[in-house]
């Protein structure tokens, strides 16, 4: 699943996640793990890269085969499925 700039998460099988971005024409990324806390919430814990040590909690507004929508009290992130 990916979202448009500036927020992008690549959710991989097995509970891993990558958060890529570009700065000064250089590609960088943070890596971590995600888990579904319950039916309506996801936790993302970044373990390497720029966002090391950051933990994010999102409400899952929508989740199906093609789209995922995550929400916090200040943003809504619409993501779509892409193939590797």
Q: Residue 81 has what pLDDT?
A: 82
Of residues 79 and 41, more confidence is placed in 41
Place of tokens 């933990």: 55
The predicted structure's pLDDT at residue 28? 76
**pLDDT of amino acid 48:** 92
Average confidence score pLDDT of the chain: 84
pTM of the model: 0.78
Domains contained in the chain, number: 1
| Residue-range definition of the domain harbouring residue 10 | 2-80
**CATH number (domain holding residue 55):** 2.40.128.280
Predicted local distance difference test score (pLDDT) of residue 12: 87
């Amino acid at each position: 699943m990916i979202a448009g700039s500036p927020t992008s998460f690549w959710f991989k099988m097995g509970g891993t996640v990558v958060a890529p971005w570009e700065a000064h024409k250089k590609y960088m990324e943070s890596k971590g793990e995600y888990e579904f806390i319950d039916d309506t919430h996801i936790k993302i814990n970044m373990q390497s890269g720029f966002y090391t040590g950051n933990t994010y909690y999102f409400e899952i507004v929508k989740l199906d085969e093609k789209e995922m929508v995550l929400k916090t009290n200040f943003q809504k992130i619409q993501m779509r499925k892409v193939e590797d």
